Chain A
Amino acid sequence: MTDLSVQIGTLRLANPLIAASGCFGYGVEYAEAIDLSTLGGVAVKGLFLKEREGHPPERIVETPSGMLNAIGLQGIGVHRFIREKLPELRGLRATVIVNICGSTLDEYVELARILSDAEGVAALELNISCPNIKEGGITFGCSLNGTFDVVSAVKKVTQLPVIPKLTPNVTDVASFARASEEAGADAVSLVNTFLAMAIDTDTRRPKLSNIVGGLSGPAIRPIAVRMVYECRRAVKIPVIGMGGIASARDALEFIIAGATAVQVGTANFVDPFIWSKLLDGLADYMRRHKIARMSDLVGSIDTSSREKQWISS
């Protein structure tokens, strides 16, 4: 019997597959298509205290093996989320990870307080990495002190596992994982999207209304795997990996590089039924490789010198 469950701080996930924030609405949109309780977790769309309208269209543009988005964190705000979405998610027995965004440190703290009192929240993911909004968020995620401060402030007011979501748009992402760990984070998740842009050469206009946006999809996967590998070596807390996962093999690549769990985003747009295929693929791999527990596979990358093996054999 293969054990797919994984541990993120005090949180036990049935399996390592989490729907990525910003790519899965509030989860309830997908309840007709899939059984949300079969997912390891559901990271809901980033929430501020208040409702937000987001950017005008165009909000996405497709690029080779990927897409740019600049949604601008349109959202219903934390209060409506708790009133209108959380009861349904509870009823569906989803493991809900709430992604929170703030313009100020106080807003993160307030959100964490409010959500800690709400029934049915399993963990908090701190969005300090959205590339598409000017105020807050990424200003914390691009400064080691800012990251440390927001994580430690949130930790002080909640018992829930706290997972800062890191941006790849920094020189050394591992140092941000370390700052998060020092501040008491229970895990880190990475990567958010890569800041990017696309231009219509006929009109010479940017293809997104926000001019720049975040690149996701298979195009970014090798960079994301490398960053997860670097963070895994830098910290002891679990790393949640994401970036272009579209198959079980892709997910395994992250897990072997050091991810305890993985998030899937863009691929869910293409195939909302991807989850059971990914789960079957993971279970099948473990059977074939005679691995009893998913946790045994985490960070199991073999970097021993091939040359040495040749000489010794």
Chain B
Amino acid sequence: MLVDVEARVIRNTRLSSDYNVIALAAPEIAANTAPGQFVMVKSGRGRDPLLRRPFSVFEVLRSDGRIEGLSLLSKRVGITTGMLFDSVEGDVVSCLGPLGRPFEPIDPPGEAWLVAGGVGLAPFATLGDALIDRGTKTTLFYGARGGSELFYLDWFEKRGIRLVLATEDGSIGDRGRITVPLERELQAASLSGLGSGIMIYACGPEPMLEAVAHVAARFKRPSQVSVERVMGCGMGGCYSCVIPVRVAHTAHHYVRSCIAGPVFRGEDVVWD
């Protein structure tokens, strides 16, 4: 059920000069969130910024076996993310959710390949957990500008998720975009005949999603991509966050990414 929670900041962990993970006391939302769903966040009480901003739920936080809240992975780019970066324990952040169509986790013997770019790591902690709980073999392909912007590597490794890394400056992993190792491993998997069970999940900048969807299609693998469009309400009211999709071989058609997504099948999206 959809709820609006005046969530207290439990803690705010700064990962770098731009990135932070903010833990919010919103157990009502956390308990009902499926991997890939999002919340609409309003930071501050004023009217500037006026609108909420969408954030993927990063972690569902547990303490003594009980759900205490959720966390958001944020990169400081605008007013709201700046306020989240600067917020301190005890501040209140208005949090509406859970919203959106989640990822569909694949079961064994299928294999999950998660592809994250930068802050696009956000939905993959909960998805990773869901996959590991199912016993699904999971790999995280994770790309960033540099090694100092790759976060939570231990978190994923501890859960038995294999890591494949790429950085644009080459400081860790492959030099270049994350599609470089993705393509190489898909090639290897398809040559050895092991590729047929792979489901690809992607979240990151839209050009990365487009590239991942194309690579997946080339190797005849299905993909699920989580898009981020400028969103006004998160509930289907405003029609601002539309993305063109192909519906049954017709010409493209705009659908609202807040309610028809944010997760789409990669082959359905018309990349513009």
The smallest C-beta distance from B263 to any residue of chain A, in angstroms, reads: 18
Say if the beta carbon of A268 comes within 8 Å of chain B. yes
Is B235's CB under 8 angstroms from A67's CB? no
Is A30's CB under 8 angstroms from B239's CB? no
Task: Decide: A266 near B50, CB < 8 A? Known: A32-B1, A53-B254.
Answer: yes
Looking at A60, A64, A67, which has the most chain B CB atoms within 10 Å of its CB?
A: A60
Is B96's CB under 8 angstroms from A59's CB? no
Say if the beta carbon of A58 comes within 8 Å of chain B. yes
The one of B235, B240, B259 that contacts A33, using a Cβ cutoff of 8 Å: B235
Query: Considering the chains assembled together, what is the distance between the CA atoms of A74 and B47 in angstroms?
Result: 27
Tell me which of B29-37, B111-119, B225-233 binds A: B225-233
Contact with A along B220-258 (1 / 0, CB 8 A): 000000000110110111111111000000000110000
Is A62's CB under 8 angstroms from B2's CB? no
Nearest CB in chain B to that of A66: its residue: B50
Contact with B along A24-37 (1 / 0, CB 8 A): 11000110110000
Is B239's CB under 8 angstroms from A71's CB? yes
Say if the beta carbon of A197 comes within 8 Å of chain B. no
Task: Decide: A270 near B240, CB < 8 A? Known: A29-B259, A53-B253, A59-B230.
Answer: no
The smallest C-beta distance from B265 to any residue of chain A, in angstroms, reads: 20
Say if the beta carbon of A232 comes within 8 Å of chain B. no
The smallest C-beta distance from B261 to any residue of chain A, in angstroms, reads: 13
Is A60's CB under 8 angstroms from B232's CB? yes
The 8 closest A-B pairs by CB, nearest first: A29-B236, A269-B233, A60-B240, A65-B47, A59-B240, A71-B239, A25-B237, A25-B236
Query: Considering the chains assembled together, what is the distance between the CA atoms of A70 and B4 in angstroms?
Result: 28
Q: How many A-B residue pairs have CB under 8 A?
A: 89
Q: Which residues of B contact A56 (CB under 8 A)?
A: 272
The one of B50, B233, B243 that contacts A65, using a Cβ cutoff of 8 Å: B50
Nearest CB in chain B to that of A267: its residue: B50
Is A59's CB under 8 angstroms from B242's CB? yes
Query: Considering the chains assembled together, what is the distance between the CA atoms of A12 and B33 in angstroms?
Result: 41
How many chain B residues touch the partner (CB < 8 A)?
Answer: 28
Q: Which residues of B contact A33 (CB under 8 A)?
A: 2, 235
Q: Which residues of A contact B (CB under 8 A)?
A: 22-25, 29-30, 32-33, 45, 53-54, 56-62, 64-67, 69, 71, 74, 217-218, 246, 266, 268-273
The one of B237, B243, B253, B254 that contacts A269, using a Cβ cutoff of 8 Å: B237
The smallest C-beta distance from B254 to any residue of chain A, in angstroms, reads: 6
The smallest C-beta distance from A75 to any residue of chain B, in angstroms, reads: 9
Q: Which residues of B contact A58 (CB under 8 A)?
A: 230, 240
Query: Considering the chains assembled together, what is the distance between the CA atoms of A32 and B51 in angstroms?
Result: 21
Is A270's CB under 8 angstroms from B242's CB? no
Q: Which residues of B contact A268 (CB under 8 A)?
A: 233, 237
Query: Considering the chains assembled together, what is the distance between the CA atoms of A135 and B230 in angstroms?
Result: 26
Task: Decide: A272 near B233, CB < 8 A? Known: A53-B254, A62-B51, A74-B254.
Answer: yes
Q: Which residues of B contact A23 (CB under 8 A)?
A: 237-238
Q: Which residues of A contact B237 (CB under 8 A)?
A: 23-25, 29-30, 268-269, 272
Task: Decide: A54 near B239, CB < 8 A? Known: A62-B50, A65-B47, A270-B50.
Answer: yes
Nearest CB in chain B to that of A59: its residue: B240
Is B238's CB under 8 angstroms from A69's CB? yes
Query: Considering the chains assembled together, what is the distance between the CA atoms of A160 and B230 in angstroms?
Result: 37
Nearest CB in chain B to that of A26: its residue: B236
